[in-house]
Structure 1
């Protein structure tokens, strides 16, 4: 016997089904305008944009302009990219404009979907930010979708790290600006430290489309972005403490890997006191519990954290004599970023690198607080329903599952669990050999540089040709990704080749043509 809830769903559909159904008349209106817009010249599309801009800035609502704006954008994308947006992509765009999260499966064309609400909201002249998870995607998408905006008479900018000031200023003045969540957050902090209004980058926080929204607004939500300045130099103390840490035994401390913290046991404190006194780092008659010992206690804590909780080639790499952090979410190097409270200096001492001065916090903000500044916020991802409650409670965002254009042909296999890492790694190699024998391109995801290089060594022993993509090879990223879909290609990657990375089966044709022409 069916329950009342099940019966109601069968008769009325789920809330998600009802929202999808409600957009169909709007999609039909956009499609009905298509023949009219196909007849327009290229200049006609730009003139249509100017007309829509005047109407929007005269007070006409964006909801009233939506069918015409979406029809104009659809035609521009068809001409500029050879891509005609499907009805489900228009639906995704409508939901984004309404301030929702559009959950769309992998390969459904989320990059193109974002152009519709971005174009519509840019008509007001207040600017739109499209947020991506890494700099590679920000540059790629701005260049790729910039062709659509250009055909519509709109300007496109991209914001990236170490960008010349004038160029960054111009990028924020464009109609649509592509940037990473990190760069937007840091530029907001920099703006708050400026003394002149004319120097401020970000005009106002009008409308944002966040790609891979669950990663940015949930996984990294409480991650603080910190701008810091130099403090006093204690290089010698870091080096001296670093020499003592290897003398500690496991009974001397307790690790909490979840919170990335470390505490000394009573036995450890006693041992450490004697050790510090032997090396003239703690005066006779003074204990670690005395107020005068605050600085030395801080240093020995950070030294232990550096040795026991931070691993080279996983949490950071040493490059040109510098300790460069690796983003745990994207697997990319974070040049210029430093750990606070002397932890970065402790790692520099551990790796034998030149120790730079300590920093003090000047300004900080979390992603959660930053993105709530926007008048209208929306997002896209392939996995949002599991966090729907958090999105609604914290950001006031609804989650709508957009149907796929075609039934999904991909087969998602169950996870396999192995007793040991050796068995697991051998099974990975065996699986690669089977797929490679069929000519299938293979992408192997790993969690660290160390693991990616370990698997690479195993494949070399099997004489299997492959590419490795991690923070060490970031300069070749576009080339490696472009080749990853080729026949029999094997690519081992950290999460650099994770969210938003577009691997085309057969390889990237455009890149092949450019490579051939450059020879």
Structure 2
């Protein structure tokens, strides 16, 4: 008997069906307009853009203009690219415009879909950001879709690492800007470290379309973006600690694979304490539990994590004497990304690499909080529905499954579960040989470099020619993936590799044409295209006859979404295809979650060696295990976000203040208010309210007034006067301070004084914010222990972070007041010396962005590699700089203009 829910779905359709249905009238309107827009000439399409802009400026809504704008964009794409958008692509574009995630299968043309809502929303003149997962895709899509926007009279920009400042500002000023999530986040942080509005790149956060939205907003969301500067070097301690870890025995530590954590046992702590005493790292009588031991305990913990949780060729590789992290989701190398808190240094010590110094955080933001800055956010991917709850809770995004243009013809087989890994891999090799013999292209998904290379060895022994794509072949990624659909091709790849590059049956024709032209530059491109197109049709038919692309997965990933992405590489645009997952009880997911019950089932069935259990029940049980892991990971991200939200509120206050300061022309009133509050605090401290004159500390007040306000006034004599109270003293101090500042303004000149006030205020805010970030980091690392005292760590963190913020603001007022009270006009010689000191300090603290893993701040400060330094250049010796003009390239080789680099005045 059917349930009520099932009956309702049959009658009314699912909620997703109903959402799709609402777009059909809009799609019909767009289609009805097609003949009208086909009749326009090229200038007519651009004229329509101007007409739409005018109507929006006069108050017409974007929704009202949507059918006409989409019809105009479809026609422009047809002329510029030869692609006419399908109805389902228009639907995807409508959902994006409405602020949803459009879930569209692989090969449905998401890159083109983004042009429709991007064009419509760019008509407001506020700019649209299209976010991609890597720089190659950002540049490719900007160049490719830029032709469409250009035909519509719109400008396109692309943002990439180490881009010259002027070019970057131009890219953000364009109507549509393509960029990676990392660059957008880093530019936001950099902008909020600039000292004038003219130096800022971004112009607000109006509308963002995030491509591969699940990868960016979920997989990478545990990773805050951090801009860091160098800290003290402690490499010897890392090496010493690393030498102690191998002597540990199994009962000295405990590994929890479910939570990916490792801790010392009581026996381990006793053993380590004894070892540290022997090595002289702990003084006699000092225990691991003493406050003085915090640093060494931290180093021991990180050393243990480096050895027991981080495996070479799975979590990182060593290349050119450098530890390079590998993204667990994409299998890509993450150059420049460093684990923080000393963990990366511990891994460097373990591998015998050069240990680079740790860093201190100068600015940081999580992807969740960066993308929530946008007034409207949307995204597209092939797999989002399994994470719909997280998208809704954290970003307020709905997920809509957009129907495919052609029905899916792929056959998804039930999982095959073997008893051992050996049996599983034997079956995989046999299956690959069978499919390869009939010419069927095979994409083999693995979960690590180690496993992809092990499988590669097995295939070599079996005599099967194949390609391997993992972090070691990162540069050839797009090419290897493009060839994965060729007749008889066997490609081994980490599960997410090659995202953004289509696997087309018979091979990717565009790549083949580019290869042929590169091999013979003299050949006529049109002739090459015709010749290859003819052969390609035969190749495509041969692959279709062989059954299409076969996706073979060697393991289940922790996330169903990653499995679905791999599966979705086959069967694009109605192509035939096949997908199968081969598992064993030795696989991580099976071992950690419920392999014992399956082991019993297999024993009961009396299975022979090499046999597999294949049943839909097994699939269901595995999906439940994956759902549990996903739920736990979501809880971890949610908890991280709750803590980061506390800092985010404070970050927004500080960044807003900086912006207000940069926009203001006269800050003298703000400075005066700060001075007034400092004086009030001094009076409250030394002349407390409701106290008698003999209880006042006038000597202390006199010393504090000299220190904080640089005023030598007869404070003690005022205390002896009849009828003088705290208000009178406060008024006299304010008067004296006003007179002194008026004299300084006259000496410097009003314009110069206003500029000095602005710079002092900005530099002090930045300095205080950096210190505050470090304090919050330390608070975050210890607040978890409050749980043992039955106190909620999050509430404790909120309360203390708020108090620390208040303290920081008090300290800010004092420092600004004190600095401005002590400035005086300088002689020419003093001025030159000050500029030299300032430049040397700036050069030493020049920040570089680092991405970090799980809020672990990271990368070292590196020179920009876009140019070569002047021979003999020494950033601490101005005489070696030559005599560059303000707009010439900086002699340090950064590629920036001198005025934006070593020539900055503050």
Q: Shift in Å at residue 501 of structure 1?
A: 3.3
When normalised by structure 1's length, the TM-score is 0.95
Q: 1:442 to 1:361 in 2, by over 3 A?
A: same
Q: Is 1:170 matched up with 2:154?
A: no
The match for 2:26 is 26
The match for 1:188 is 188
Matches within 5 A, 1:406-417: 406-417=406-417
- Quick check: 1:134–1:330 contact (8 Å CA) kept in 2? no
Matches within 5 A, 1:42-81: 42-81=42-81
1:116-146 deviation digits (Å, cap 9, x = unpaired): 1011111111111112233333233223222
Q: Is 1:461 matched up with 2:438?
A: no
User: Match of 1:274, SS?
Assistant: helix
The match for 2:365 is 365
- Quick check: 2:26–2:67 contact (8 Å CA) kept in 1? yes
Q: 1:335 to 1:164 in 2, by over 3 A?
A: farther
The match for 1:435 is 435
Aligned CA-pair RMSD: 2.0
The match for 1:394 is 394
- Quick check: 1:112–1:145 contact (8 Å CA) kept in 2? yes
User: Match of 2:157, SS?
Assistant: strand
Compare the two structures and name the one with the higher helix fraction. Answer: 2
Q: Shift in Å at residue 170 of structure 1?
A: 2.5
**1:121, 1:517 → 2: CA distance?**
38
The match for 1:277 is 277
Q: Which structure: larger Rg?
A: 2
When normalised by structure 2's length, the TM-score is 0.55
Matches within 5 A, 1:102-501: 102-497=102-497, 499-501=499-501
Q: 1:506 to 1:471 in 2, by over 3 A?
A: same
User: Match of 1:178, SS?
Assistant: strand
Moved over 6 A (4+): none
- Quick check: 1:302–1:343 contact (8 Å CA) kept in 2? yes
- Quick check: 1:30–1:71 contact (8 Å CA) kept in 2? yes
The match for 2:38 is 38
Q: Shift in Å at residue 94 of structure 1?
A: 0.7
Higher relative contact order (CA 8 A, sep 6+): 1
1:142-164 deviation digits (Å, cap 9, x = unpaired): 23222222222222222333434
- Quick check: 1:313–1:450 contact (8 Å CA) kept in 2? yes
**1:52, 1:399 → 2: CA distance?**
29
Moved more, 193-202 or 493-502: 493-502
Q: Shift in Å at residue 71 of structure 1?
A: 0.6
Q: Shift in Å at residue 477 of structure 1?
A: 1.8
User: Match of 2:410, SS?
Assistant: coil
**1:158, 1:421 → 2: CA distance?**
46
Q: Shift in Å at residue 322 of structure 1?
A: 1.4
Q: Shift in Å at residue 395 of structure 1?
A: 2.0
**1:202, 1:158 → 2: CA distance?**
13
The match for 2:738 is none
- Quick check: 1:53–1:123 contact (8 Å CA) kept in 2? yes
The match for 2:614 is none
Q: How many residues align?
A: 519
**1:329, 1:201 → 2: CA distance?**
31
Moved more, 217-226 or 265-274: 217-226
**1:57, 1:214 → 2: CA distance?**
35
- Quick check: 1:340–1:360 contact (8 Å CA) kept in 2? no
Q: Shift in Å at residue 246 of structure 1?
A: 0.7
1:458-509 deviation digits (Å, cap 9, x = unpaired): 1111222211111111121222122222111111111452543311222221
- Quick check: 2:138–2:158 contact (8 Å CA) kept in 1? yes
Q: Shift in Å at residue 27 of structure 1?
A: 0.9
**1:507, 1:4 → 2: CA distance?**
48
Q: Shift in Å at residue 279 of structure 1?
A: 2.1
1:258-300 deviation digits (Å, cap 9, x = unpaired): 4443221111111112222222222222221222211111111
**2:219, 2:320 → 1: CA distance?**
31
1:32-91 deviation digits (Å, cap 9, x = unpaired): 111111122223222222222232233321111111110111111112222111111111
- Quick check: 2:477–2:498 contact (8 Å CA) kept in 1? no
The match for 2:512 is 512
Q: Shift in Å at residue 7 of structure 1?
A: 4.4
Q: Shift in Å at residue 255 of structure 1?
A: 1.9
**1:161, 1:445 → 2: CA distance?**
30
Q: Shift in Å at residue 214 of structure 1?
A: 2.7
Q: 1:164 to 1:444 in 2, by over 3 A?
A: farther
User: Match of 1:262, SS?
Assistant: strand
User: Match of 1:105, SS?
Assistant: coil
Q: 1:498 to 1:248 in 2, by over 3 A?
A: same
1:305-346 deviation digits (Å, cap 9, x = unpaired): 111111112111112121111222222222212111111111
Q: 1:195 to 1:516 in 2, by over 3 A?
A: same
- Quick check: 1:342–1:359 contact (8 Å CA) kept in 2? no
User: Match of 1:411, SS?
Assistant: strand
Q: 1:452 to 1:6 in 2, by over 3 A?
A: closer
Q: Shift in Å at residue 30 of structure 1?
A: 0.7
Q: 1:198 to 1:416 in 2, by over 3 A?
A: farther
- Quick check: 1:133–1:330 contact (8 Å CA) kept in 2? no
- Quick check: 1:131–1:211 contact (8 Å CA) kept in 2? yes
1:84-103 deviation digits (Å, cap 9, x = unpaired): 11111111111110111222
Q: Shift in Å at residue 106 of structure 1?
A: 2.3
Q: Shift in Å at residue 2 of structure 1?
A: 5.6
- Quick check: 1:341–1:360 contact (8 Å CA) kept in 2? no
